[in-house]
Amino acid sequence: FPGFSFVHVLRDGRDLPFSKNQSPVDKFFTHMYGGNEQARKLSPKLKAIRMWSDANVQVQRYMAVTRVHQQLEKAAGSEYIRIKIEMSVEEESLLQMGYVCNKTLNLGLKRKDMCCRLRGYINHLKRADFFEGVKSRYGKWRKLTEKDRSLREALNEHGKEALEEFGYLSDDDDDLDPMAVIRTRPLYYDQLPS
């Protein structure tokens, strides 16, 4: 698909094991890990974060290889943007996401038009009390593992590669409010070097 655009939307994988919807893990874990006996012995929560980590790192590697091949072949380049979904609950970050996507994906909207559209969308979300409702769901893994340090450590270990790669893991992780972690990481999107 020469010249395609790919927006990779991420969520902290430590929330996924606590989701009521485990159907993606149930459906695809066997396809990803087949006869890997060690992987099959993992608890359901660890299967969820392992699959999240491996799948998202694979996507990023695929896009990196695709970009290199396109450069070597002088083919039309693909655009790759990573966005942390947790950023969508902060008004200014949502505006920035829109500006970045507009510019990178060549959507052709003028900054003023983009701002007006996004502000209208944000006002709609505010009226529906969207931001507060969604904020409460992000970072829920912290509270749910508060008294189970071994589970918390296991989630960090099994998701380590992607948690580090995508900026979700930090040395002082335990002491921070989940929304503070999001706000203190200003780069919520990344583009692979062209």
Radius of gyration, CA atoms only, the chain:
18
CB-count burial class (<10 Å; 0-12, 13-18, 19+) for 5: middle
* Residue 174: C-alpha distances to residues 48, 52, 85, 96 (Å): 21, 21, 20, 28
Please tell me the pTM assigned to this model.
0.77
Give me the tens of pLDDT residue by residue for the chain, a chain 194 residues long: 566 778 888 999 999 999 999 999 999 998 899 888 898 899 999 999 999 999 999 998 888 887 766 666 666 667 778 888 887 777 777 888 888 888 878 888 888 888 888 888 888 888 877 777 777 788 899 999 999 999 999 999 999 999 998 889 864 454 444 444 333 333 333 333 33
> For residues 140 and 146, what is the distance between their CA atoms, to the nearest angstrom?
10
Residue 113 is inside which H or E element, if any?
helix 111-127
